[in-house]
């Protein structure tokens, strides 16, 4: 059995390898290396940075793009779970998904809402 290990010791199934070999066991995400891995690996961190933070962010493995008058930096190599939802707001951010705008067509990922009783 051919497997690739992350430094955290998690083995990926046959034919797959970890996006971030430095990820901890809880954050390993495996991809098919025959597909361009840099584009199939999920974004694991995203931040808006000032112009003077660009060099340090790029040195830490972030990709930096212009975003209006700001800079948007993202990485696929931080030791985090993949981002599944993002909301930009000019007000205080809210981590409670129940307080996001309601849409009857919105579908949540399994476990995203915790255990909900009807």
For residue 35, is it within any domain? yes
Query: 23 lies in a domain?
Result: yes
Least confident of 10-14, 34-38, 49-53, 83-87: 34-38
Would you say residue 67 lies in a domain?
A: no
- Cβ atoms of residues 20 and 28 within 8 Å: yes
Q: Longest C-alpha distance within the chain, in Å?
A: 51
Whether 30 is in a domain gets the answer: yes
Contact assessment for residue 60 and residue 53, using Cβ atoms and an 8 Å cutoff: no
Q: Is 111 a domain residue?
A: no
Instruction: Provide the 10 A C-beta neighbour count for residue 62.
Output: 23
Mean pLDDT of 14-19: 84
Number of domains in the chain: 1
Instruction: Give pTM, 2 decimals.
Output: 0.61
| pLDDT at 57 exceeding the cut of 90 | yes
Helix (H) or strand (E) run with residue 30 in it:
strand 30-31
Residue 20 within any structural domain of the chain: yes
Question: Domain range spanning residue 37?
Answer: 1-41
Does residue 15 belong to any structural domain of this protein? yes
């Amino acid at each position: 059995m051919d497997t690739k290990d992350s430094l955290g010791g998690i083995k990926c199934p046959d034919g797959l390898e970890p996006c971030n070999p430095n990820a901890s066991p809880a954050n390993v995400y495996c991809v098919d290396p025959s597909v361009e891995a840099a584009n199939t690996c999920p974004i694991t961190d995203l931040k808006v940075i000032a112009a003077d933070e660009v060099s340090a962010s790029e040195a830490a493995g972030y990709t930096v793009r212009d975003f209006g008058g700001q800079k948007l930096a993202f990485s696929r190599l931080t030791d985090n779970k993949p981002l599944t939802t993002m909301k930009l707001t000019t007000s205080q951010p809210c981590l409670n998904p129940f307080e996001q705008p309601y849409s009857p067509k919105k579908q949540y990922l399994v476990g995203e809402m915790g255990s909900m009783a009807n």
